[in-house]
Chain A
Amino acid sequence: MIELDRLSRRYGVHVAVAELSLTVADGELLVLLGGSGCGKTTTLKMVNRLVEPTSGRVRIDGEDVSALPPHELRRRIGYAFQRVGLFPHMTVAENVAVTPSLLGWDARRIARRVDDLLEMVELDPGLVRDRRPDELSGGQQQRVGVARALAAEPRLMLLDEPFGALDPLTRDRVQQSFRRIREQLGLTAIFVTHDMSEALLLGDRIAVMDAGHLLQVGTPRELLTAPAHDVVRQMVETPRRQAAAVDALLAPSGGDGGAR
């Protein structure tokens, strides 16, 4: 269980995150949703101390994270970066193996783990293992990023728009496989995105943020049926409006016009 307790982060006079409190239950995926600059990434980074809070606490299973050396804390938490962040001078296998090797796993266990993870994210270990990240497509790189985050068998994962750079088809497939993996492993996760559809599809609950403040937390159904705020209403309506617009294109000519 992750508890964020009145967490704030200020940069000078600018308040990035203001008095934010949230709880993520074991095995739950919580989506942090909001536009750019709303403070969602800052909130995520305060969980593994890539950003130190100005005030407030983060507790994992009741333990205050500020009591641990940051590198030890981070080795226990999988982290998938917004900009993927694969190390260009390492092979795919070395990238995936980085945290296990920091933890001192033996070589055989690491090799087995790398192959398992690559298969799990639907990459052929024999093909990609010894490649450099820049030889892979954007979608493959993001899958390697997720595999790296999972490598040290964390029970907790932080994901910062991990599928942001993917084309819609690939993104859909990777989302499906991520969902499957998470359910298999029973991971607790915080997932940052600005994409409402992604939030609705993946999240057990969604926390909507705006200008550093938490506007509403609830299940997708709760947000759709009872938005507590105008901003939330506009956000949740976007995918439905888009879907309606697509339907409208098809309706009048029964599909004939689409062929032109």
Chain B
Amino acid sequence: MPELLQLLPSYLAAHVQLVLAALALAISISLPLGIAAARAPRLGRAVLAVAALVQTIPGLALLAVMVPVLAAIGLRSIGFLPALIGLTLYGLLPILRNTVTGLIGVDPAMVEAARGVGMTERQKLARVELPLAMPVIVAGIRTATVWTVGMATLSTPVGAPSLGNLIFSGLQTRNYASVLLGSAAAALLALLLDGLVHGIELGLARRHRGPVVASLGGLALLAVAALVPALGAAFRAGERPVVIGAKTFTEQYVLSELLALWVGRSTGLPTEIRASLGSTVAYDALASGDVDVYVDYSGTLWATILERPAPPPDRATALAEIARFVRERHGIELVCNLGFENAYALAMRSRDADRLEIRRVGDLAAHAPSMSIGGDYEFFARPEWRAVRDTYGIRFATERSMDSSLMYQAAAAGDVDVISAFSTDGRIAGLDLRVLEDDRGAIPPYDAIVLASARLAREQPGVIAALRRLAGRIDAPTMRAANFAVDEHGRAPAAVAQDMLPALAGAATDAPAP
């Protein structure tokens, strides 16, 4: 908990920055648009239809889709910008709709009175229509505020830190205190912002300057406070920290902490972790230079970045081809192979495996028609699954997609018979599951490899050299034990990484990498 509280201020600050910027943008776009739409009913209907359509896109998808869209037009595609644009789009509808509704709902007698006393169109809008529609418009802004605060937690996977970091990493590492802290902080922030907007509204309606000044002051204070960490970072040293990325699962959190400790210790450079990135977002971030280092897996890169339909002929060819491809395409350096593999692996309850005498994937074929298999969200759409199915000729009675963190428990509890486990997951041993041998090599190798950005390779050869010393230093049992410590014993990834360090340091000095 204390270490969580230490993380809170920077995530909260980033969250507030995002929300305030998105709301300011959403208001400044949708107010004028709403005014125009209220004047021209045809335009109004079209604008509202488009805004409503945007609203129907699930929040996470809307943010995620910003990444390729921005990349396609050559803008920074991960981090603040895609999150800001996604959140702004999401905040448009409630403000827009309430502006239109509020203006259309102004009593026609008031509109005629405004004309009758000699107001121009502009004066009529500013002095009569907007003030009378204000309660409805502000209600829209308040709705948008609460939505945006909640939705901003989804900016984490597109690379913008937010309170979502606490929630995503907490869910993956089963750290529910972290989930609770992130959610509670978001809820309190929503209440606070809603209260401040309400304060402005009350002050305006009753024409008391007090509440307006106090609420605006509160917002300004919040904005300044949110900028403090960023400003602090700008003043600290002159050095840009080495940014280490992590995708959204336990092993990645542990490895990012480990790389940070290792780089800090070997080079003395400051480091920063950008965690819970979407799978391809992490690679895009490395290509664009937003992230300097992260760990990926050869099989994943082979399929999603090199886009090869067929599995690689062998491990060495895969690594060589990947290294060549990422260097030529994005200047990315394949620094080293950590020494373990985190592959898809079919696993089942040891008890059942013994009873049915199943040791290899091939042994499943006879029993599969009466069994169910559980896989993570993408597994059944992946080439690995097709390869397993076709190589061994297996057909399961049912296929069920589920969150990868729930899969192991589902197998242990008997909800499914076989799962598409990850070979380094600590829960395989912890829950008495057994990995079946892939004797015909249907599943491609998934060697964990360290990738470094072009910038890092060019400007910090010392970091590259330090990272290279990690080659072959982490084996599968070590990684599995580390993952297990986080997943089943609830230890913090940073603490687990800290414990791994002495062995690595010893190994690295005892036997320098070849």
Bound together: yes
Binding site for B on A (CB under 8 A): 48, 50, 70-76, 79, 81, 83, 85-89, 98-99, 102-103, 148, 152
Q: Contacts A71-B120, A102-B123 hold; do A85 and B110 have CB atoms under 8 A apart?
A: yes
Pick from B112, B123, B131, B205: contact of A50, CB under 8 Å: B112
Q: How large is the interface on B (under 10, 10 to 19, 20 to 34, 35 or more residues)?
A: 10 to 19
Q: Is B110 touching A102 in the complex (CB atoms < 8 A)?
A: no
| Selected A-B contacts with CB under 8 Å, 28 pairs | A50-B116, A70-B115, A71-B115, A71-B118, A71-B119, A74-B116, A74-B118, A75-B117, A75-B118, A76-B118, A79-B116, A79-B117, A81-B112, A81-B116, A87-B110, A87-B114, A87-B127, A87-B128, A88-B110, A98-B119, A98-B127, A99-B117, A99-B118, A102-B117, A102-B118, A102-B123, A148-B117, A152-B118
Q: Is A85 touching B116 in the complex (CB atoms < 8 A)?
A: yes
Chain B 102-137 per-residue mask, 1 if CB under 8 angstroms from chain A, else 0: 000000011011111111100100011001100000
Q: A50-B112, A79-B116, A102-B123 are in contact. List 16 more A-B contacts (CB 8 A).
A: A70-B115, A71-B118, A72-B118, A74-B115, A74-B118, A79-B117, A81-B112, A81-B113, A85-B109, A85-B116, A87-B132, A88-B110, A88-B132, A89-B131, A98-B117, A103-B118
**Nearest chain A residue, comparing its CB with the CB of B123:** A102
Docked Cα-Cα span, A75 to B119, in Å, equals: 8
Docked Cα-Cα span, A89 to B120, in Å, equals: 19
Q: Contacts A81-B109, A88-B132 hold; do A50 and B115 have CB atoms under 8 A apart?
A: yes
Residues in A with CB closer than 8 Å to B109 are 81, 83, 85
**Distance between A65 CB and nearest chain B CB, rounded to angstroms:** 13
Q: Contacts A50-B112, A102-B123 hold; do A89 and B117 have CB atoms under 8 A apart?
A: no
Q: Is A48 touching B123 in the complex (CB atoms < 8 A)?
A: no
Docked Cα-Cα span, A83 to B120, in Å, equals: 21
Residues in B with CB closer than 8 Å to A86 are 113
Residues in B with CB closer than 8 Å to A72 are 118
* B114, B116, B123, B205: residue with the most chain A Cβ atoms closer than 10 Å: B116
Closest 10 A/B residue pairs (Cβ): A85-B113, A75-B118, A74-B118, A79-B116, A89-B131, A83-B109, A71-B120, A71-B118, A99-B117, A98-B117
Residues in A with CB closer than 8 Å to B115 are 50, 70-71, 74
Docked Cα-Cα span, A74 to B116, in Å, equals: 6
Residues in B with CB closer than 8 Å to A148 are 117
Residues in B with CB closer than 8 Å to A73 are 118
Residues in B with CB closer than 8 Å to A102 are 117-119, 123
Q: Is A89 touching B132 in the complex (CB atoms < 8 A)?
A: yes
**Distance between B297 CB and nearest chain A CB, rounded to angstroms:** 63
**Nearest chain A residue, comparing its CB with the CB of B122:** A71
Which of B6-38 touch A at CB < 8 Å? none
* B110, B112, B118, B123: residue with the most chain A Cβ atoms closer than 10 Å: B118
Residues in B with CB closer than 8 Å to A70 are 115
Q: Contacts A81-B109, A85-B109, A102-B123 hold; do A74 and B132 have CB atoms under 8 A apart?
A: no
Residues in A with CB closer than 8 Å to B128 are 87
**Distance between B209 CB and nearest chain A CB, rounded to angstroms:** 15
Docked Cα-Cα span, A8 to B118, in Å, equals: 24
Docked Cα-Cα span, A134 to B325, in Å, equals: 75
Docked Cα-Cα span, A1 to B113, in Å, equals: 24
**Nearest chain B residue, comparing its CB with the CB of A88:** B132
Q: Is B117 touching A74 in the complex (CB atoms < 8 A)?
A: yes
**Nearest chain B residue, comparing its CB with the CB of A85:** B113
**Distance between B473 CB and nearest chain A CB, rounded to angstroms:** 72
**Nearest chain B residue, comparing its CB with the CB of A72:** B118
